A and B are shown apart, each in its own frame.
Chain A
């Protein structure tokens, strides 16, 4: 370090005081970290524990993370007594299609807005910014109306197509394309490559970090998406995981609270995002704030 942290100690007592203060700060810091670490993680620990408990154990010992006795009955009933496998399949299908669509369409549009000069570009970009401000919850009724009118309410098309592009993704891609130098593309173009070919085989490979970010955001967004599935389908065969979970909780289970089953189902729905979070954490962090990811 260039900055001298300790001046030549003036008097020994002052140095002692300072050392004591530092120690106290550290202790307080770690205490705070551990306390809030528990606050933020213990609910997940309880969730895992409860998913492996019997129903009476779950009710009697709600704070304990240790199942006594340990049982897989909750999970067995998830697969035997609910439509969970079907919801899982639907969620996978929707998530894969939506993620592919968003990554492709958002990069195309982002590239055009960043690089291609065409009439109306400025207006289009302003529209993208405006659209980003439209809050999702006020679109519940509007979306239902248009799906109904187009005759794709209650279908896979209704579940997938409206989510295939998003303004925020276009914005991310445009910002990224603007940050890479234009010269390579120009070289390709001078060599006679078409615009699409330049985009596809020259520009996209350079945009890997942004593509990963967009893939992760799209995956997480569409895997967790709830309001859209609420207003686009009503047939239980078309439910995605969040919709199915919400249905479980609102009492389609019949008797008893069945918390081990519900928490187990919620746990299974959380695992894919958790895995991606652990693997690609720095891309999540990048989304929340640009490039301040330091240890």
Chain B
């Protein structure tokens, strides 16, 4: 790149060129604000202001008629929030169901996509294989396509007479009616070992208006198809992150441990894995942040059905506001979800900051140099 010639020029005019005269500085102050004004206006008007407006609406019972900012709209205080947690009723049952669904979703999606992404990265990073860049692109391609378009494809793949069931048929398995099947996977497993009727202790009660039996249902069969889609689309992105991490592992270290007689598993477990720990943490936290936001796929594939087993907080907030015209409750659900995601983001950023200060960055960069032949 041209930067090297530019640095050569840079040293020419003498030391300390950054200090300029006051007139120019004043000029810069004005120009700086002019330059950032469009972004401030757009983000302020369509991001910060709306959040404040929604905060207000979440304290009211606005039904979508007229403006929510007049005296006519009933103010209900924290009621929209308390009904999600403390009052027995449909609102709390739906909300807790969506939380349950999303917890199972996260519990499967995050480990699955992380393991798959790491596995793919290890294979693609193998120095002995050819044609890797083609496969790397193939694995990454689903990540850049439209979530709606790809959901349409998976609707067909998981249809009753679709490709997945045809494939299962080849193996002699009678596939389920994916999007009509609300049975929980854990319930199915228990059924398989003979526990068909839930023990009374589990159906009598449980936290937040759902019985223990309901909490322990596991993801429904329908949710499994959405989980499959999401793991399939996101693994490519995380594979690229792992690849970047793997390229920081010095080849010489790997070779040294081979000469010391370490087996492949030992090398992976004691050399590679510790070296890419920061990347793994990044992938895990980004995965968690992302999987609390699942919306498009639910909207296109299941709309929360069957029997509310694919309902997620994001979709529930949309449905409550725009289908049931209960904007207050919908906004309250959004803010609870917001809180969950912000907490996850803060954890991630703290860990990233520790990573960046904990290790000398220069040293890590330089390790790549010996790869040159």
A binding-site residues for B, Cβ under 8 Å: 1-3, 22, 25-26, 29-30, 32-33, 36-37, 39-41, 43-44, 46-47, 50, 58-60, 62-63, 105-106, 108-109, 111-113, 116-121, 124, 131, 133-146, 149-150, 161-162, 164-165, 167, 170, 179-184, 186-187, 189, 195-196, 199, 206, 220, 223-224, 226-227, 230-231, 241-242, 245-246, 248-250, 257, 259, 262-263, 265-267, 269-270, 273-274, 277, 281, 284-285, 288-290, 292, 294-295
Contacts and interface: CB of A to CB of B under 8 A. Distances in A.
B126 interface: yes
Interface stretch (B23-31, B86-94, B193-201): B23-31
Contact of B317 (A111, A141, A273): A141
B176 interface: no
Given A105-B42, A270-B145, A141 B243 contact: no
Given A133-B345, A146-B46, A164-B42, A181 B32 contact: no
B120 to A, nearest CB: 6
Contact of A149 (B17, B31, B67, B129): B67
A39 B232 contact: yes
B53 A142 contact: yes
Contacts, number: 312
Contacts of A183: 6, 9-10, 12-13, 17
B163 interface: yes
A231 B322 contact: yes
A contact face: mostly helix, strand, loop, or mixed: helix
A99 B292 CA distance: 28
A138 B46 contact: no
A29 B138 CA distance: 16
A178 to B, nearest CB: 12
B341 interface: yes
B152 A262 contact: yes
Nearest to A186: B17
B57 A141 contact: yes
Given A109-B38, A273-B146, A288-B237, A47 B153 contact: yes
9 contacts: A2-B373, A29-B128, A105-B38, A140-B321, A141-B54, A142-B50, A146-B50, A181-B9, A226-B299
Interface residues of B, number: 114
B334 A140 contact: yes
Contact of A46 (B157, B293, B345): B157
B192 interface: no
A1 B57 contact: no
Interface of B is mostly: helix
Contact of A273 (B33, B54, B145, B349): B145
User: Chain A CB within 10 Å — which of B3, B6, B146 has the most?
Assistant: B146
B137 interface: yes
Contacts of A117: 25, 28-29, 32
Given A46-B156, A145-B50, A273-B145, 15 more contacts: A36-B120, A40-B232, A58-B156, A108-B38, A109-B36, A137-B314, A137-B337, A195-B31, A196-B31, A248-B152, A263-B153, A266-B149, A270-B145, A284-B144, A292-B243
B318 interface: yes
Nearest to A39: B232
B331 interface: yes
Nearest to B259: A7
B252 A62 contact: no
Given A149-B67, A165-B42, A289-B240, A138 B334 contact: yes
A181 to B, nearest CB: 5
Contacts of A265: 152
A120 to B, nearest CB: 8
B105 interface: no
